[in-house]
Structure 1
Amino acid sequence: MGATLRALRALVLLLGFYLLSLLLLAALVGVDIAAFRWGHGPAVAKLGFVTVLLAVPVVRGMFMLRTPRDEDGPGIDVTEADEPRLWALVREVAAAAGTRAPDRIRLTGEVNAAVSEDPRLLGLLPGPRRLYLGVPLLTGLTQAQLRAVLAHEYGHFTGGDTRLSALVVRGRVQLGRVIAQFHERADGKVAAERAKQERASAKRVARGKKAKKVDASGSGVSYRMMAAIYDQYAKLYLRASLSTARAQEFAADQVAARIAGRDAMAATLREIPVLSASHDFYLDSYATLGLGARMLPPRGEFFGGFGKLLTARAQELEGLRTELPKEPASPYDSHPPIAERVRRIEALPADGRADEATGPALAVLTDPARTLAALEDAVLTDEVLGYGRATGWPELLDASMASGLSSAQTPVHRVLAARTGQPATLAALLEVVDAGGLWQLAEQLPLSAEAKAARGRAFREFARPVLHRSLRTMVLAEFSARSLLTWDFSWSGPAAVRLPGEAAATGAGGQNPEEALEAALDAALADHPDTTALRALLPPAPQPV
């Protein structure tokens, strides 16, 4: 579909919103006319009041004349003086695509690249252009793949997609605004009716009568019915606009393959979902590891550590490049499935450009370390930036694990605190065990229905894993509180705990600290519990000064 036809479709969809609104207003006016002609009494006035209330969100939605501008989001703008190599590459690819280069480049903290334009007259005239480049994306791509990303984004410029988006966005925003207003008013009616019924119920109770059940589900029905009408048109609008958006993605992929090469574009499409999943994992497991301890990675490493993770897990990530998503992320995702996009690109004839620009894309930046540090200042909140800085990742891990263990609340913690009325401690738990109360305490744990129905040995087998996890956590917390625990940091796997005495563990014929701890835990949770071995492993309590 050409740009003219796509513009016509976008315009028709937008006009459809206004037509629907006019029809609904006409229907409301018709109801009022019929009521005043054939009705009489207070009911007519009440109906007229209701139709006016229903008309207000419709009229407000129709006269939302200004399309909200996109928020830039957190990031750093870079000038040509800041990043001459990046700007040279951006202009080179723009010239190859036959389009005007962006006026601004903004570096962000996301695994994403995007372009936008602020056109005039609803997209009829061009406007300033912006390019958004995620630094984590640059971290994981080669320079050839970066060219492919830029060429794909410029494909949206050459196809007029960024200019036409003003029409599509305006309709989407107006529909969302009207629907939100109707739902907001419906929720307000429900809340008011619920409060009214609760007050009436309280008065009945005060008079010694039985309280009535509060049910406000019937309130706001007219508002929800109006919202449902717009919901149906919104679904049609999204399906129609998304079919166009997905066609635009395929067309932009073809532009990228022509400029950057077939193999580079196919490799880029395979790489982006891998980088996205890896970055999510990195943020959860590494970058934000110390937030609970109010500690950040070393300066520049909040984003900079991502490259180390990719290097350490290169073999693991290789398998993900062949497992491409075959369905869109959601029914309303503007991008087609990655698997289909790759299939179309790899079906193109070979162009002999497989080995171009294999260096890391991050190298196009003048000073990557400086950029990574500046990005932290732009993306992280002022509160987080006020946290302390670890001298290295191992220190960050130690601080995080110590903080987590000190605040751990296992099922045994909660049951023990409820039983004793005091904060749960390992010493208190061992006293309960020595007094023969372990299995009575276990009966209060949140177990499955099958476990709760079991008796005797069967019940103990169900409860023992929960007890074991909780008791181990409490023991590790005790070691940590005495600064006796360290953790082995790894980019390629989960952290491993190093128990006291592990550095001087006995030979093959002896028992290392991990084995000794497991044996002591097993003894404390046996059918006939014995805490002697566990108490022998624990550090002595600090003596009062």
Structure 2
Amino acid sequence: MHSAQAYQDLVSRLTTLAATNPRRYKLQLALLAIAGFAVLGGALALALSLAAGTIALMIAGKSILLLKIGLLALVFAWVLLKSMWIRLEEPAGERIEFTDAPALSAEIERLRLAAGAPPLEAVVFTPELNAAAASVPRLLGLLGSRHFLVIGLPLMQRLDRDQFAAVLAHEFGHFGGGHSHFAGWIYRVRASWYRVCEGLQQSSSWFAGPMIRFFNWYAPYFNAYSFVLARQNEYEADATAARIVGAGPAAQALVSIELASMRLDRDFWPSVDRATRAEPEPPMALYSNLGQTLRMPGADDQTRLAEALRRESDLDDTHPVLTQRLAALGQPAALPAPPVLSAADELLGDFHAVMSDRFSQEWRARVSPEWEQLFRVAGQKRERLQALEDAWTTRAPGPGETAEHACLVADLRPGEEAKHLLARAVEVDADHAEAHYRHGCLLLDGADGSGEAALERAIVLDPDFSEAALQRMHQWRWTSIGRDAAAPIAERLRALFEAQREGERERSVLAAGDTFLAHGLDDRKVADIHRAVADLRGVGSLWFARKQMQHRPGVPHFIVLVKWRAFSRSNDYALRQLADRLPLDGSWLVVTDEGLASHAKAFRAAAGAPVYKRS
């Protein structure tokens, strides 16, 4: 498909077809999925036949070339075979029993029966503001599926009982409507193709070219067809919620969840992030605090609802936007009243506090190491800020210090003072990329579109700011202007992500045509390497060379060849342990002689003598 507009036009045509002739649409989608599997199966059969034939000829003629062709065909077949075996895992979270929350269990069963949904394998609790219907097929779906209902505790803390019932009825609509079986099969076709493409790109096999070209043609069409199915399923599930619970509670739930998500993203989690600078330890009762935040009315709720209603539908999210879902329900966009009693309080009872504490402790254990590090860094920044301000009592700011000071204030004391200081800093220290980036973000936060120019300047000065700056500009345009205005930034982000993927692949493999350069390590770095690996007794010698990079050539990438001592075994763990120890700048790949393969001669010519050799 030659353009994003062509893809959008196809989705539009398929949406009309699905509405006017659903049987024909689903038949076309099923045939397209079958065609994808047929290509995979045919390629697998061809690869196995080619491998068997060439190996047989090799045995008869003793040709090393034929052996290599046969082995390449076997590798290609193995990549395809692995891609076709897609195993869906059970949803992660805390399984709950009937006795944990009898009122909730009874409500779930009532709604399941009303929706005509199959029995559940389990109810799973998570700490997310979400709910989901998940099906895990038995033997690729030949023996049916196990069905799971996933419930986020924050969702129950935000909604009242009727609104929460509407959400559950929506999820059961996915089960009861037969969405899970057909959509699950479609998902496995999509996942198979993406795994094929990823595996073939990593294999660097000449067999990969035709398959990747087919995938690049096939994927946009299959994505368009499956996108329409997923979005249609959402409307049908909303209709199920309206039939069982009522259109009013269903609409109120949609609005409440939208506002809750915005409040968490813009208020609650940023306040937690700011606490890392002031508190030495994470809070003990995070999810209790989160629940209180969600239940309170927000001063910005009306403004944020208006913003959500301006949001336009896009092709990145299978869920329709809020205006579309409310229109389908035939309900107005109104602010729901805060719940007098939340669904969590009404249906969980004492188990609410149990789950809140459990999730809080799990979160605390997970973030504590990073929290402590951030608090230490904040302390160092406070000391540096104080040192600058003390020094300026006796002298003028030095080069770069005005921008450094403004950035420190923005980090430690965000607000109007920081905005004023950053505006001054980008005039005094015009080439300070971070100052431009922070200034641009603050301007956009204040609805000042001139912040885009500051972010563009940051990108020019330091390309490492590209992703963060473009995402911030995209968010600003999407929420404040509209989808069309955000589209050019989205295209730049897509191109950036594609370049990043290519760069990661370039650094993760050795490919035909790679060029190696002298490592350029100075004596101090060599001494650091000696100290770092001294206690790794299995390491005999290490050679280093730099790989010439096409993507981000300014960030060095080293290839490190290790020769193990006698009686030492090479394995993945030993290679990872060595890689983790190396004190290099940039990135690096540790290999053995087998990993170098055909690159050995060129690598050794560039590497020269070993940098490290155990005496």
Question: Which range, TM-score by smaller chain?
Answer: 0.5 to 0.7
Aligned counterpart, 1:137? 155
Aligned equivalents of 1:427 and 1:294: distance in 2? 22
- Which structure has the higher relative contact order (CA within 8 Å, separation 6+)? 1
Q: Which of 329, 348, 357 is 1:365 aligned to?
A: 348
Cα distance in structure 2, aligned partners of 1:125 and 1:131: 20
1:87–1:247 Cα change, 3 Å? same
CA distance in 2: counterparts of 1:16 and 1:22, whole angstroms: 10
Q: In the alignment, is residue 17 of structure 1 matched against residue 1 of structure 2?
A: no
Equivalences for residues 116-127 of structure 1 within 5 A: 116-120=134-138, 122-123=140-141, 126-127=144-145
Q: Summarize the Cα distance change of 1:369–1:381 in structure 2 as closer, same or farther, 3 Å threshold.
A: closer
Deviation at 1:93, TM superposition (A): 1.1
Structure 1 match to 2:226: 241
Amino acid at match of 1:69: L
- The structure 1 residue matched to 2:381, chosen from 408, 416, 420, is 408
Distance apart, 1:308 and its partner CA: 2.7
Q: 2:287 matched to 1:303?
A: yes
State the partner residue of 2:263: 278
| CA distance 1:369–1:442, shift in 2 (3 Å) | closer
Provide the residue aligned with 1:316 in structure 2.
Answer: 300
In 2: Cα distance, 1:55 partner to 1:263 partner: 59
Aligned equivalents of 1:360 and 1:253: distance in 2? 22
Query: Counterpart of 1:438?
Result: 397
Matching residue of 2:118: 100
Contact 2:44 2:81 in 1 (8 A): no
Residues 335 and 427 of structure 1: is their aligned pair in 2 closer, same or farther, counting only changes over 3 Å?
A: closer
Give 1:150 deviation, angstroms: 0.7
Match of 1:179 in 2: 197
Aligned to 2:427: 462
For 1:295 and 1:375, how far apart are their aligned partners in 2?
Answer: 16
Question: In the superposition, relative to structure 1, how do residues 430 and 339 fare at CA in structure 2: closer, same or farther (>3 Å)?
Answer: same
**Kindly tell me: are residues 18 and 305 of structure 1, through their superposed partners in 2, closer, same or farther at Cα, counting changes over 3 Å?**
same
Instruction: Deviation per CA, 1:53-91: give whole Å up to 9, x if none.
Output: 377445532465543123422x22111100001101111
Distance 1:150 1:446, change over 3 A: same
Q: What is the distance in 2 between the residues matched to 1:444 and 1:400?
A: 24
Alpha-carbon RMSD across the aligned residues, in angstroms, is 4.7
| Gap runs ≥5 in structure 1 | 33-43, 187-219, 349-353, 389-398, 414-423, 448-457, 471-545
Counterpart residue number, 1:261: 246
Paired residues for 1:40-51 under 5 Å: none
| Deviation digits for residues 135-160 of structure 1 (CA, Å, limit 9, x no counterpart) | 11111111111011011011111111
Task: Give distance in 2, aligned partners of 1:400 and 1:152.
Answer: 42
Change (3 A) 1:315 1:222: same
1:302–1:376: 8 Å Cα contact kept in structure 2? yes
Paired residue secondary structure (1:278): helix
* 366 and 239 in structure 1: CA distance in 2 versus 1, 3 angstrom threshold: same
1:19-418 equivalences in 2 (<5 Å): 19-21=38-40, 53=72, 56-57=75-76, 60-62=79-81, 64=83, 66-73=85-92, 75-120=93-138, 122-123=140-141, 126-186=144-204, 223=208, 226-282=211-267, 284-291=269-276, 294-298=280-284, 301-312=285-296, 314-322=298-306, 323-324=308-309, 326-328=311-313, 331-346=315-330, 359-363=341-345, 364-367=347-350, 368-377=352-361, 379-380=362-363, 382-384=365-367, 403=376, 405-408=378-381
Number of matched residues?
A: 386
Distance 1:168 1:258 in 2: 27
State the structure with more CA Rg: 1
- Whether the 8 Å contact between 1:108 and 1:133 is mirrored in structure 2 is yes
- Residue pair 1:296, 1:387 contacting (<8 A) in 2 also: no
Offset of 1:372 from its aligned partner? 0.2
**AA matched with 1:260:** V
Partner AA of 1:114 in structure 2: A
Aligned residue type for 2:169: A
**Residues 156-175 of structure 1 deviation map (CA, whole Å, 9 limit, x = unaligned):** 11111112233112212211
Contact 1:271–1:321 (CA<8 Å) still a contact in 2?
no
Secondary structure at the residue paired with 2:149? strand
Per-residue CA shift, 1:519-543, capped at 9, x if unaligned?
xxxxxxxxxxxxxxxxxxxxxxxxx
Deviations 1:6-25 (A, max 9, x none): 87556434321233235657
State the TM-score, normalizing by the size of structure 2. 0.53
Structure 1 residues 283 and 124 mapped into 2: Cα distance closer, same or farther (>3 Å)? Answer: farther
- Number of the residue aligned with 2:527: none
* SS at structure 2 position matched to 1:100: coil
Contact in 2 for aligned 1:270/1:338 (Cα 8 Å): yes
2-structure distance, mates of 1:433, 1:387: 35
Opposite residue 297 of structure 1, the aligned amino acid is P
Name the SS for the 1:20 alignment partner.
Answer: helix
Q: Is the Cα contact below 8 Å between 1:17 and 1:171 reproduced in 2?
A: yes
Question: 3-state DSSP class of the match of 2:167?
Answer: helix
Partners of 2:79 and 2:47 in 1: how far apart?
A: 15
Give the C-alpha shift of residue 105 in structure 1: 0.9
State the distance in 1 between where 2:166 and 2:387 align. 62
The 1:373/1:52 distance shift into structure 2, 3 A limit, reads: same
Per-residue deviation, 1:406: 1.7
TM-score between the two structures when normalised by the length of structure 1: 0.59
CA contact (8 A) 2:48 2:74 kept: no
- The alignment-based identity, stated in percent, is 22
